[in-house]
Amino acid sequence: MIHAYQEIYLSNAQSILGDAFDYAVNACNIPGSDFTKLFAASSISKRMENGEPAYLAGKSGIEIIMEVIAETTGKELQIIPQERFERSKEYWIGWAVAYYQWYSGRKYSDIFKVITFDDLQNMYYTLHEADVSKFVDIVNQRMKDFFPDTNLKRIRTNYGCTQAELAKRSGVGLRSIQMYEQRNKDINRASVETVHSIAKVLGCTVEDLMEN
């Protein structure tokens, strides 16, 4: 599976987003559901998704909050940093979601469409001491339920291309394309040449076609 960015930034990204959620809710008294919406709508979330080092390694959680609020509401927050030795529910939420975004390569806006802040709070009690892979499995299933179409079908449909046209232009067999879209064949296991040929026709990246 192709992840959102290099793994060397992952731990730091998790800590940053964990701190951001912790401070937003517990120091700034911003409701968690509001902060998830503001964060997902901001350019800061896109920069983290894209693996920009300045946002994965060069910012603190407090700086992330301040930028998100300034960009989305036009307000400036004055936050006094505090020593925080205990990991809160909110820290775990940011930490876990950052891991899932890296693992899946999905947009934060899509993640928060499928799983709400309240959902994440409820998950904390059973999952915060478990391996993060269990969190990934749960969110993956919810993603599949919410977005039933494969990435290939969704992108092809939006592009306005039939399966037959895609097969002819890409050189990939029609039956293979049908099976990828029906999840009878795993596109993640297709050859690089196959996926690249499809992506080239649809004007997307290879990563866009990968399934989680």
Cα 29 to chain center, whole Å?
25
C-alpha span between 195 and 208 (Å, rounded):
10
Query: Would you give the DSSP letter of residue 74?
Result: S
Helix/strand/coil percentages in the chain, nearest 5: 70, 0, 30
Instruction: Specify the pTM.
Output: 0.77
Query: Would you give the DSSP letter of residue 4?
Result: S
What are residue 25's phi and psi, to 5 degrees? Answer: -80, -45
Query: Tens of pLDDT along 132-155?
Result: 999 999 998 998 889 888 999 989
**pLDDT value at residue 83:** 63
C-alpha span between 30 and 5 (Å, rounded):
29
Map out the domains of the chain with their CATH numbers. Answer: 7-146 (no CATH), 151-209 (1.10.260.40)
Name the range with the highest mean pLDDT among 32-46, 99-113, 170-184.
32-46
Tokens of 200: 């080239």
Tokens of 71: 């960009």
Residue 89 has pLDDT above 80, yes or no: yes
At residue 4 the predicted structure's pLDDT band, cuts being 50, 70 and 90, is confident
In Å, what is the CA distance from 164 to each residue of 152, 160, 161, 170?
14, 12, 8, 10
**pLDDT value at residue 81:** 65
The closest of 16, 27, 204 to 187, measured between CA atoms, is: 204
**pLDDT value at residue 116:** 96
**pLDDT value at residue 106:** 83
Long-range contacts of 182-188 (CB under 8 A, 24+ apart): 183/150, 183/211, 186/211, 187/150, 187/151, 187/152, 187/211, 188/1
**pLDDT value at residue 168:** 96
Comparing 16-30, 89-103, 108-122, 174-188, the range with the smallest average pLDDT is: 174-188
User: Quick check: 58 and 82 in contact, CB under 8 A?
Assistant: no
Residue 51 has pLDDT above 80, yes or no: yes
| Average of per-residue pLDDT values in the chain | 91
**pLDDT value at residue 107:** 87
**pLDDT value at residue 186:** 85
**pLDDT value at residue 143:** 87
Percentage of the chain beyond pLDDT 70 is: 97
Query: Tens of pLDDT along 158-210?
Result: 899 999 999 999 999 999 999 899 887 889 889 999 999 999 999 999 999 99
